[in-house]
Amino acid sequence: MPKELIRLSDCTVSFDGEVVLDKINLYINDKEFLTLLGPSGCGKTTTLRIIGGFQAPTAGDVLFDGVRINDVPPHKRAVNTVFQKYALFPHLNVFENIAFGLRIPKADPETGKREKLSEEEIQRRVMEMLEVVNLKGFERRRVNQLSGGQQQRVAIARALVNQPKVLLLDEPLGALDLKLRKDMQNELKRIQQAMGITFIYVTHDQEEALAMSDTVVVMDQGKIQQIGTPEDIYNEPKNAFVADFIGESNILDGIMRADGVVEIFNRKFQCLDKGFLPDEPVDVVIRPEDVDIVPEDQGQLKGTVTSVTFKGVHYDTIVDFYGFKWLIQTTDFCPVDSHIGIKIDPDGIHVMKKSQYSGLFGDYSSYSEEYDEIGDATLEPEEEEEESHEE
């Protein structure tokens, strides 16, 4: 059973009367890789600063190993931080950058007496960290001779050499190019597992969060929107904000007619969701990769292709259903202006409660009689004709 290490209890932060963090409740386990994910201004960095001791909560408590640490200064917490700007010392080589914190005398917890580490201990710990971050042999190199990724590793080694229980990382890959960012994602996960400590990572990049994390905390407007594994966050988003922010999504208005039956565009679809009220208005998420393109006469819905973009492993295909546009990711090429059908399996449909974010994301549309004209392979032509004259 995982051991809880950090807990934020009803933590609120206000600046000049404006609430930037609104009663956050969150616990973080020992040896967990947890990512705070969200857009700029959502409160993720403020949450990190509270944990690090750089920001005191206006209200609420911060607990570390069950002990309240609201008033404990940063240097007395078992926490270290890596920022986007690495703040390495240009006049020191790699070894001395990493060793810098070790040369500062530390107070003995038992006696309170300040003691210095021996040179042998400093040498041992620095060389150990160089091996962990794959920089063995670089110890005498000056930091301005290193690549961005190598400088990143030096900053991580410098933070870890003091043996913190928690490493805080505030968008540390933001300054790197795309390929280097992807390489460093793998490196960070490897380092976290090798060190066996807790990493708390802040990013606005959902790919980073999904690739590295054990747990993802999605935030917006100073509140936690959802907490879960990367798979849970992607496959079972709690609201339209999470569905839109994590990956590509088609988000539609729907009506939950019964358990396992949702109505979209006046057509009933089988789904796996339950527990909604009969005829409850809902938001429906359909991921682009979960839509199958089929011949027009075999489709649950019929539409017209308006745009095709080649993405290497698939085509991003935009399909118009009488003004409502869907993104479909498929390996099948369908030319612009072609008429197609689509099919969606029940496990490709995810139903969510309506929320404050309903109607803000995706190509939302409300009911229109135009939808009555949308083709449905399960209906006979006579039924469609009759339905189009109802009112």
Q: What is the pLDDT of residue 366?
A: 29
pLDDT confidence of 391, banded at 50, 70, 90? very low
The full DSSP string for 221-234 is TTEEEEEE-HHHHH
Q: How many CB atoms lie within 10 A of CB 377?
A: 15
Q: Are 298 and 384 within one domain? A: yes
CATH of the domain at 376: 2.40.50.140
Q: Are 345 and 276 within one domain? A: yes
- Residues 98-125: tens digit of each pLDDT: 999 898 887 666 666 778 889 999 999 9
pTM: 0.84
Q: Are 257 and 228 within one domain? A: no
Q: Are 270 and 159 within one domain? A: no
Please indicate, yes or no, if residue 54 is contained in any of the structural domains.
yes
Q: What is the pLDDT of residue 10?
A: 97
Q: Are 230 and 122 within one domain? A: yes
Indicate whether 330 pLDDT > 70: yes
Decide: residue 311, CB within 10 A, 0-12 exposed, 13-18 middle, 19+ buried. exposed
Please indicate, yes or no, if residue 244 is contained in any of the structural domains.
no
Backbone angles phi, psi at 305, to 5 degrees: -75, 125
Indicate whether 374 pLDDT > 50: no
Q: What is the pLDDT of residue 59?
A: 96
Q: Are 119 and 222 within one domain? A: yes
Indicate whether 18 pLDDT > 50: yes
Please indicate, yes or no, if residue 245 is contained in any of the structural domains.
no
Question: Which whole number is the average pLDDT over 198-220?
Answer: 95
Q: Which of 137, 198, 196, 191 is nearest to 166 (CA)?
A: 198
- Residues 262-291: tens digit of each pLDDT: 999 889 999 999 999 999 999 999 999 999
Q: Are 173 and 75 within one domain? A: yes
Q: Are 180 and 312 within one domain? A: no
Please indicate, yes or no, if residue 243 is contained in any of the structural domains.
no
**Half-sphere exposure at residue 220, Cβ-oriented, CA atoms within 13 angstroms:** 15
Question: Which whole number is the average pLDDT over 350-364?
Answer: 83
Angle between helices 119-132 and 148-160 in degrees, nearest 10 = 130
- Out of 204, 235, 266, a domain closes at 235
Q: What is the pLDDT of residue 297?
A: 92
Q: Which of 39, 20, 17, 18 is nearest to 223 (CA)?
A: 20
Indicate whether 226 pLDDT > 50: yes
Q: Are 188 and 273 within one domain? A: no
Q: Are 206 and 310 within one domain? A: no
Instruction: Give the 3-state secondary structure of 196-207.
Output: CCEEEEEECCHH
Decide: residue 338, CB within 10 A, 0-12 exposed, 13-18 middle, 19+ buried. middle
Q: Are 200 and 312 within one domain? A: no
Question: Which whole number is the average pLDDT over 222-245?
Answer: 95
Degrees, nearest 5: CA angle 141-147-153: 75
CATH of the domain at 153: 3.40.50.300
Identity at 244, one-letter amino acid code:
D
Q: What is the pLDDT of residue 377?
A: 40
Indicate whether 32 pLDDT > 50: yes
Domain count, the chain: 2
Domain around 172: 4-235
Q: Are 195 and 339 within one domain? A: no
Average pLDDT, the chain: 88
